Amino acid sequence: MQNTVQVKPDIIWVGGNDRRVNRFENLFPLTHGMSYNAYVILDEKTVLTDTVDRSISVLFMENVKAALAGRQLDYLVIHHMEPDHCANIEAIVQAYPDIQLIGNRNTYKFLTQFYPAFAFNHFITVKEGEELTIGKRTLRFYMTPNVHWPEVMMSYEVSEGLLFSADAFGSFATIDGNLFSDEIYFPEGIIDEARRYYVNIVGKFGSHVLKALKKFSDLNITTILPLHGPIYRTPEHIGQILAAYQNWASYDFDKKSALILYASMYGNTENAVDILASQLAKKGVREIKVYDISDTDPSYLIAEMWQYSHLVFAAPNYNGDLFYKMDALIREALRLNLKNKKVSFISNATWGGLALKTMQGYFEDDKRFAQVGTPVEIPSAVCEGTVDALAALADELSASLTAD
C-alpha cells in the first residue's frame, strides 16, 4: 500500500525506508536502517525527482502512482546515478513511456552503463544554470560534481527557494514518520549519523562541497530536500546544516580535545591509553574520548576523527609491522582526505618491529599534520618508565591544546 507524505500542496514525498539493510553500500553498518527520498511535483507538467533503491521498488512505484492521482509523468530529473537512487529508472520509463529524462552528459553516460540493454529515447541534456519551467514552478539546474559522484547535479526551484540537494545534507537512518527536521530532536537526533554519512560518503571531496556551498550562498533557500534523511524547512535548521557542511568540508574540528584510538591484543596498550587519558583529565583536558579500534567500525572512528583537533594513535606490532586494523584505519582516514590534525603515537613491542615507524610514516613530511610529543614505546607492558613517558606526552598534549 502506498505511503506518501505531503511536503507542499503540490510536492509529495514518494520515498521509503529499508529497515532490513545492515550496511549502506554493503560497507557502512546501519543500526537504524536507511531512507531513500524521491519527490513528485504536480504542476502544469508533472516531475519526479530521482527514484530509490531497489529494496523498496514496489512501494516506490505505488507511491508515484498515488502521487500522480491518474496523471501521466512528464519528466524524471536524475540528480544522481548511484543505484540507491537510480534503480527504478527503467521501471519508471516502462510505466510512463512518454516521460522525458533530464540530466547532464555524465548522467547519460552512467545511465547507459547501468542500463546497457535499455534504449532511452527521450533524454534531455542540461547544463549549469539552465532552467525548466513546468507551470508556476521553474527548476534551475546546478552542476555539483563529486557531491558525491561526478555526474551529480542539484535543482533549485526558483519561485519558493526549494533545493533538491541530491546526497548533500543526507543522513543514515530511516524516516520514522517525521519527515522534517523540525519534527525530530535536531541536531541531537540526527547530527551524528549525518556527520558519519558526510565523512564516509562525501568527506574526500571537501573542495567540491565548498564549491557547491558557494554556488548556493546567494540563493534564498527555504527548504532543502535531500535524497536521504530529513527535509530541512526552518531557517534555523537550514542554517545549522549548512554551517555543519561548511565546517566538515573545510576539515575544521568541532572539539578541541584528544581522541585516543588504540588497538590492544592483551590489554597492555589499553592500560597505557587509560593512564594517558587520566593524566590528561587531571590537567584539565575535557571531552577526551578513547576507542578500541578492533571493536568499532572505521566509519564511526573516522567520523570522530573529523571532530577532534588532536588524535593519539596507539597500537602494537604485529607480524613485525603495524597491527593491521590500525594500519587500515589510518589509510582509510587519509584516503578520505583527513587533514589539519595534531597527531601523537604510542606503540607496543616485545621484540621490535615497525609499528611506530609505519604510523609516523603516514603523517611525516605532510604539512597538514603536526606531531605532538615524543612517541611512547611500551616494552610489552606498562612499567615505571612508560608511566613517565606517558606523563611527558600528556604534558605536551595539554600544552598544545592550550596553545592552539
**Other Cβ atoms closer than 10 A to 359:** 24
Contacts with ligand FEO by CB under 6 A: the residue count is: 9
Taking CB under 6 A as the criterion, the residue among 18, 50, 82, 157 binding ligand FEO is 82
Residue number with CB closer to ligand FEO (87 or 312):
87
Q: Note whether 263 binds ligand FEO by CB under 6 A.
A: no
Sites for ligand FEO among residues 271-300 (CB under 6 A): none
Q: Note whether 148 binds ligand FEO by CB under 6 A.
A: yes
**Is 228 in contact with 167 (CB distance < 8 Å)?**
yes
Taking CB under 6 A as the criterion, the residue among 65, 79, 80, 195 binding ligand FEO is 80
Q: Note whether 270 binds ligand FEO by CB under 6 A.
A: no
Phi-psi region of 378 (alpha: psi -120 to 50; beta: other; left: phi over 0): beta
Residue number with CB closer to ligand FEO (149 or 318):
149
Q: Note whether 310 binds ligand FEO by CB under 6 A.
A: no
Residue number with CB closer to ligand FEO (24 or 308):
24
Cell of 398: 595539554
Min dist CB 59 to ligand FEO, Å, is: 17
What's the burial of 320, exposed, middle or buried (CB within 10 Å: 0-12/13-18/19+)? exposed
Min dist CB 19 to ligand FEO, Å, is: 17
Q: Note whether 167 binds ligand FEO by CB under 6 A.
A: yes
Residue number with CB closer to ligand FEO (85 or 341):
85
What are 341's strand-pairing partners? Answer: 369
Q: Which stretch binds ligand FEO (CB under 6 A): 81-89, 234-242, 267-275, 299-307?
A: 81-89
Cell of 383: 612499567
With cell 612499567, the residue in question is 383
**DSSP-assigned letter for residue 356:** H
Q: Note whether 227 binds ligand FEO by CB under 6 A.
A: yes
Nearest to 35 by CA among 173, 210, 136: 173
- How far is it, in rounded angstroms, from Cα 34 to Cα 128? 30
Cell of 391: 606523563
Cell of 135: 507551470
Q: Which stretch binds ligand FEO (CB under 6 A): 80-88, 124-132, 274-282, 396-404?
A: 80-88
Sites for ligand FEO among residues 83-112 (CB under 6 A): 84-85
Residue whose C-beta lies closest to ligand FEO: 82
Letter for the amino acid at 234? T
Torsion angle, alpha carbons of 223, 225, 231, 232, to 10: -30
Residues that bind ligand FEO (CB under 6 A): 80, 82, 84-85, 148-149, 167, 227-228
